[in-house]
Every structure is written in structure tokens, then in C-alpha cells.
Chain A
Amino acid sequence: MKMLKIAVMIKQVPDSQDISIDPVTKTLNRSMARNVVNPPDVNATEAALELKSKYGGEITVITMGPPMADTALLELMGRGADNGVLVTDRVFAGADTWPTAFTLASVADYLGGFDVIFCGEETTDSSTGHVGPGIAEFLGYEQATYVHKIEFQDGYFIVTRDIEGAEETIKVGKPAVITITLNANEPRNPTLKRKIEAYKKGIRLITNKELQLDPACVGLKGSPTIVKDMKTVPDPVKNPSKPGIEELDKVVSVLIEKGVVK
């Protein structure tokens, strides 16, 4: 059997634990936040590693971002991914989900295409869930979203999806884009030896010199989204008539009165 050619599209995001809302400007304050791999992307990488260990394959982790995003790739190579590709160019900056999906799809194409591309279900810093399906559409791949279980049989991926309140098992053909849910699996830790190998191997840089994409279709210029406003939702007003623990007896008697409890 031919080895599977696997890609994982990942993003470096500010650690959500360290983000606060500036009380004056009401915008997200990311200055104190360290950068981490978007959590579901770690699950996506683990899904790729599990697929590789069962069926054989080569895993390339790919991210589009600033040069410092290389640490996210090295981290995932430390967990077992074979190659890291950083797509970085000033013209790609400021991209919304449309040019992001377009650029990443172009990268996948530039690298000769893949049998399967994994993505996290969504990022913790934008929560759109657009990019995975977008890549599939641009490439004309089949797609399955919100997946937590994958088998590979007779050239098809048998995947189990989370649909609200239920599960759905479907079959998708190759090539496919599969987005993985947060906590779909238990990601293995990076090891010292693998990390050393990753740092030795280094990562491959791809800029628009290689991709030759129309600057009008990428980055901020290629982004149709316009953020009109950003609001902070006020804390819900506490109900002043909400009974405290000391009024438990009264609550119980009301419930008995209304026939809710006997």
C-alpha cells in the first residue's frame, strides 16, 4: 500500500488563559499572553500521528503566520510530525478566513497535494471554523468536519462526527480535509529526542515568491470581512430576589406548594 501523504494545518494563538479584556478600550489584551498551538490543532496532529502509526505515512505540519510561529511547528514535530512548513510573507498578513484558506490550499497544491489534510475544528482566537472547509473547497477535496474518530478502509476514511446531541459516521474518499474536535484524543507529549531532531531538521519556509499568488487575493487586500464593531457583553445583572442558602427552607416550601416536589 502506498504511504499516506498527510498534512496538518495549524495556527499559533495567544494562550487563552492569559488574555484579558482591557477595561477601557474593551479590546482583547494579548500582550501578556504567550503563544501556544491552537488546542484543537494539537488533537488534529495526534489524529494524524495515530493514522500514520496504523496505516503508515508522512506528516507535514503547515502554518501561515509570522516568523516566530516556527516554534509551534517545532513543538508538533517534537510530538512526531515529520516536516514543518512555515508560510510567511508580508503580503499574507492581515488575512481573514477566505484568503487564509486560499493561501493554505495553494500551499497544499504547491507541495503536490495530500491524501488527507487535518485541521482543528476552529481556532480559539477567532472561532470561525471556516478555514478547514475553505481549504477543501479551494482544493476540491472531500471534507468532514467536527470529527473525533477516524478509520481508513479500502481507500476511504470512515469518520465519526459530533453533530449536536448525536454522532454521525460517514465515509469520505481521498483526498479529504478532516477537521478534528477539541479533546477528540489524548495528544502524546513531545520528547527531548524528537525535539532535538526537529530543531536539527529545521522548517521549510514558503513565501509568495514560490507561490506566486495574486497579491489582491491574499492578506488584508484579499479579505472580504470588515469588522464593523466589537462589543463587550456586560456581566449579567444579579437577580436581587435570588434566594440565598439561608432561605432554603422557604424555597423548598414553595416547591412543595407548587407541587414540584412532594
Chain B
Amino acid sequence: MPDYDAIVVGAGNAGSAAAITMAQKGLSVLLVDRSDPPGAKNLSGGVLWGNDLARILPKWQSEAPLERFIQDKKIGFLTDKSSIIIDFKTKIFEENKVGYTVLRSKFDPWLAKKAREAGATVIPGITVESLAKKDGKIIGVEESGDIVTASVVILAEGINPRLCIEAGLRGPLQDWEVSVGVKEIIKLSPQKIEDRFNLSSSSGMASEYILGNLEELNVGAFFYTNKDSISLGIVAPMEQLRENGVTHTYDIIEQFKEHPSIAPLIDGGTVAEYGAHMIPEGGLEMVPKLYGDGYMIVGDSAGFGFSNGLVLQGMNYAFLSGILAGETAVEAKGKGDFSSDSLSMYRQKLENSYVLKDLKTFKDIRKVTNNKNMYTTYPKMLESILLEMLWERGQPKKKVRDILGSCAADLKMSKLKTATDFYYIYRRM
């Protein structure tokens, strides 16, 4: 008899969601995390969409340490001197509060506590050394020479899944599969935040930008309001950073913070924390085999995330994949069968959910996010068009068609190239 029905490695959103799902259904669960309190070292941009969390924790909105609900969502482009932003503020978000800013160092320990309350044994402060294998099956985990066994091991190690890689369950991370996120938390009084962003004491703003002021790199940026701080950061593709070799991520985040439309927003704030993290951006191509005899892979470890440059999501994919792996384990326990065949239900559940549907729908999205014009030429083009249209300079006015033509010419873009680019972006987004 194994020691546990299931061992979950990693108390992030995916791991804790899996542990809660299984423990709620009476499975014996061991959840192990390297940090103490569990999950306290985890990091992400910080907007959580909680539809899936509600499936296992219906009262999450009143119980979880949340910062502000997202009432105002902005997306836009920044060029050297301008910002072009769509500001979407809606009552609909206020009536259906599902998006919240969170600080993971508070939220994740809470979620792990929920796993403990559901009956899981949660062990913090331990780094699992390797997976234990027998006859080609994963039978548990190994640490300090001890083996703890389970019918199934759920790997929720995060973006750099050392155990999966060492056990040959997936290859080492490739540059094209990930972006580097660098984040700062800037302390600012709630009063200032609410005044500057026109918010109430509970509402918040989340914005995502394409940085059009960097020549060589396709960099996105984010800016979120917490209760008494701002989370901001940049996301740059690892492949381009390595190719470029000279631009440092900390220079990029400084440039972002100094941008004329960002600097006044954080004026008077002090940096309280900073960190860096990798983000899965390889899409469907980076997804490994998700299950096998005695194991399943969830969350970032499985490459589940979504980014199209202007929308960046990962936590919801983590919750849902964790829940679906948990449900699969519960069913496997019922059948008494934790073989690869039985656990293939996990893949099926993912196929039927938005997790793999999104990755399939947007399988070509990297062609958009890798398109350099998206990050340099088009933001500039947009800026030129708006300058032509909105700036009275005592000159004769032009039709939009002519503005577009002259802008394209200025930026050395052929009309055909621009048109085909737009067509592909339109099709892939």
C-alpha cells in the first residue's frame, strides 16, 4: 500500500487546487512545497480570474486575501512620448466580480491552508529531490534518502519543472518556450491609489501594454493596483533577450517606469519588493505529455498560459488544470487504476475545457507576438495617425487612407506588407 493516494509537488495555484479537489473527495493527499509558509516564494503578475476557483472554494471572494477587484481594464501601446490606450471601465465587471489583483506571497499560503483544511497533509519548507520510479512507473518522491510513495504524483513545480526534466517527462526548457517577467511592488497609500486611478476602496485597475519604444525587443508590460501598492513589470521573450545580448531586463523595467505616462502614476512610491520569473509562452508546442503511469503534470509545468501581447493569463489555467487532474485522480481511485490509460482522462478533460481549447485556437499566436512590427512599427504608425488626426498644426487635413499611406512610407513599410501583416494578426488573434 502506498503511503498516500496522491502526492502533489508544489503549492502554487495548480498544486493547491489539485490537492483541495482530491482531499475534498476523501483522498489521502500529501502536498509538499519548498517554502515555509507554503507557496510564499511564488510570484506572478498578479491578476487572478477566479471562475474555476469557485468550483472548489465557493466562498473564495470573501475568504481569500484579495487586493482589489478589477473594475477598470486597460490595454494599449506606449511609444517614446505617447501612450495610446483603450480604457475599458464597466459596471459589468463590478456586478460580476471575478477578476482580482492578488499578492501571491499572501494568496498562495492561504490556498495551501485551504488544502490543509480540506484534509491534505501540507508540508512546507521541503524541496523534493527526485521522483521515485519502479518498473517505469512513478511511485512517489524521494528526499534525504527517504521515499514517500503514492498512487499518483501530481507535478505542479512551476515553470522550471526540475523533477519532470530529470525524470525525462519533458525536455529542458528552451528559450522560445518562455519569457522573462520582471516585477516590482511599489508602495503607495490607498488614498493616492484611489485618487490617481479614480477607484473606490475596493475597486482596482489592471493594464497591459505593448512597449513600442524598444527597437529590438517585443516587450509587454503590466501595471496593476493593489490595496496599498502597485504591481508593475515587463515581460520579454527569452529568445530575443539572448539574441540581443546587450539589453538587460532591469533597464527595460526602468525605462517603463520612467515613461512619461507611467512615471506620474508611481510618483512618491517606494519599491518594496522586486522579483523575476519565467512565464510559459510556448503555447501548444511546449506542452509535454501530460500524464503517464502514476503521474500528471499541471499548471506552468505543463506550459499552460495565454499571452497575445495584450492579454496575459496563467493563474486561471493553473486552477483549472489542477482541478481537472484532481478529478482524474479521484476517478482513478474509484477504479483502483492509476495507469497511464486511466490517467489519460486528464488530457480528455483538458481537451474539453478552455485550457487546451485556448492553446489550440491560438496555436499560431507566437507568430503575432514574435512579429517585430507589432512592437515597433505599428505603435509608431498609430501614433502618427493620431497626431495627424488630433493635432491642429495649421496644415490641410488628410483622409485616413492618405495618412496611413504616408505613415507606412515613413516607416518603410509597403502597403502590401502592412496589409498582409494586419490580415495575419487579425486571423491569429
Are A and B interaction partners?
Answer: yes
Q: Residues on A close to B: CB < 8 A?
A: 32, 34, 71, 75, 78, 189-193, 195-196, 199-200
Tell me if B's interface is mostly helix, strand, loop or mixed: strand
Minimum CB distance partner of B126 in chain A: A192
With a CB–CB cut-off of 8 A, which chain B residues contact A195? Answer: 123, 125-126
User: Are the C-beta atoms of A196 and B123 separated by less than 8 Å?
Assistant: yes
A241 CB, min distance to chain B CBs, angstroms = 33
User: Are the C-beta atoms of A192 and B141 separated by less than 8 Å?
Assistant: yes
Q: Once the chains are docked, how many angstroms separate the CA of A199 from the CA of B126?
A: 13
User: Are the C-beta atoms of A192 and B32 separated by less than 8 Å?
Assistant: yes
B63 within 8 A of A: no
Given A32-B272, A75-B125, A78-B125, answer yes or no on A192-B37 (Cβ-Cβ < 8 Å): no
Q: Residues on B close to A: CB < 8 A?
A: 30, 32, 36-37, 40, 121-126, 128, 141, 143-144, 146, 148, 272-273
With a CB–CB cut-off of 8 A, which chain B residues contact A193? Answer: 143-144, 146, 148
B428 CB, min distance to chain A CBs, angstroms = 42
User: Are the C-beta atoms of B40 and A34 separated by less than 8 Å?
Assistant: yes
With a CB–CB cut-off of 8 A, which chain B residues contact A71? Answer: 36-37, 124
Contact among B36, B121, B148 for A199, CB-based, below 8 A: B121
B132 CB, min distance to chain A CBs, angstroms = 12
Q: Once the chains are docked, how many angstroms separate the CA of A190 from the CA of B144?
A: 9
A–B pairs, 6, beta carbons within 8 Å: A34-B36, A190-B126, A192-B123, A193-B146, A193-B148, A199-B121
With a CB–CB cut-off of 8 A, which chain B residues contact A192? Answer: 32, 123, 126, 128, 141, 143-144, 146, 148
With a CB–CB cut-off of 8 A, which chain A residues contact B146? Answer: 191-193
Q: Once the chains are docked, how many angstroms separate the CA of A145 from the CA of B121?
A: 39
Give how many A-B residue pairs fall within 8 Å (CB-CB). Answer: 43
With a CB–CB cut-off of 8 A, which chain A residues contact B122? Answer: 199
Q: Which 6 A-B pairs have the closest CB atoms?
A: A192-B143, A191-B144, A193-B146, A192-B126, A195-B123, A199-B121
Minimum CB distance partner of B3 in chain A: A196
Given A34-B40, A75-B125, A190-B125, answer yes or no on A196-B144 (Cβ-Cβ < 8 Å): no
Minimum CB distance partner of B7 in chain A: A192
Q: Once the chains are docked, how many angstroms separate the CA of A190 from the CA of B32?
A: 13
User: Are the C-beta atoms of B30 and A196 separated by less than 8 Å?
Assistant: yes
Minimum CB distance partner of A34 in chain B: B40
B149 CB, min distance to chain A CBs, angstroms = 11
A65 CB, min distance to chain B CBs, angstroms = 16
Given A32-B272, A34-B40, A191-B126, answer yes or no on A196-B121 (Cβ-Cβ < 8 Å): yes
With a CB–CB cut-off of 8 A, which chain A residues contact B126? Answer: 78, 190-192, 195
User: Are the C-beta atoms of A196 and B36 separated by less than 8 Å?
Assistant: no
Q: Once the chains are docked, how many angstroms separate the CA of A59 from the CA of B40?
A: 29
User: Are the C-beta atoms of B144 and A75 separated by less than 8 Å?
Assistant: no
B64 CB, min distance to chain A CBs, angstroms = 18
Point out which of B32, B40, B125 has the most chain A C-beta atoms below 10 A from its C-beta. Answer: B125
With a CB–CB cut-off of 8 A, which chain A residues contact B124? Answer: 71
With a CB–CB cut-off of 8 A, which chain A residues contact B144? Answer: 189, 191-193
Q: Once the chains are docked, how many angstroms separate the CA of A190 from the CA of B141?
A: 16
With a CB–CB cut-off of 8 A, which chain A residues contact B40? Answer: 34
Contact among B148, B272, B273 for A196, CB-based, below 8 A: B148
A75 CB, min distance to chain B CBs, angstroms = 6
With a CB–CB cut-off of 8 A, which chain A residues contact B141? Answer: 192
With a CB–CB cut-off of 8 A, which chain B residues contact A32? Answer: 272-273
With a CB–CB cut-off of 8 A, which chain B residues contact A200? Answer: 121
B122 CB, min distance to chain A CBs, angstroms = 8
With a CB–CB cut-off of 8 A, which chain A residues contact B125? Answer: 75, 78, 190, 195
Q: Once the chains are docked, how many angstroms separate the CA of A71 from the CA of B128?
A: 19
With a CB–CB cut-off of 8 A, which chain B residues contact A75? Answer: 36, 125
A19 CB, min distance to chain B CBs, angstroms = 13
A192 CB, min distance to chain B CBs, angstroms = 4
A183 CB, min distance to chain B CBs, angstroms = 20
Q: Once the chains are docked, how many angstroms separate the CA of A34 from the CA of B30?
A: 23
Q: Once the chains are docked, how many angstroms separate the CA of A17 from the CA of B426?
A: 50
With a CB–CB cut-off of 8 A, which chain A residues contact B273? Answer: 32
Q: Once the chains are docked, how many angstroms separate the CA of A78 from the CA of B36?
A: 13
B32 CB, min distance to chain A CBs, angstroms = 7
With a CB–CB cut-off of 8 A, which chain A residues contact B121? Answer: 196, 199-200
B354 CB, min distance to chain A CBs, angstroms = 35
Point out which of B37, B141, B144, B272 has the most chain A C-beta atoms below 10 A from its C-beta. Answer: B144
With a CB–CB cut-off of 8 A, which chain A residues contact B37? Answer: 34, 71
Q: Once the chains are docked, how many angstroms separate the CA of A190 from the CA of B37?
A: 15
Q: Once the chains are docked, how many angstroms separate the CA of A102 from the CA of B273?
A: 40
Q: Once the chains are docked, how many angstroms separate the CA of A34 from the CA of B109?
A: 12
Q: Once the chains are docked, how many angstroms separate the CA of A221 from the CA of B37?
A: 32
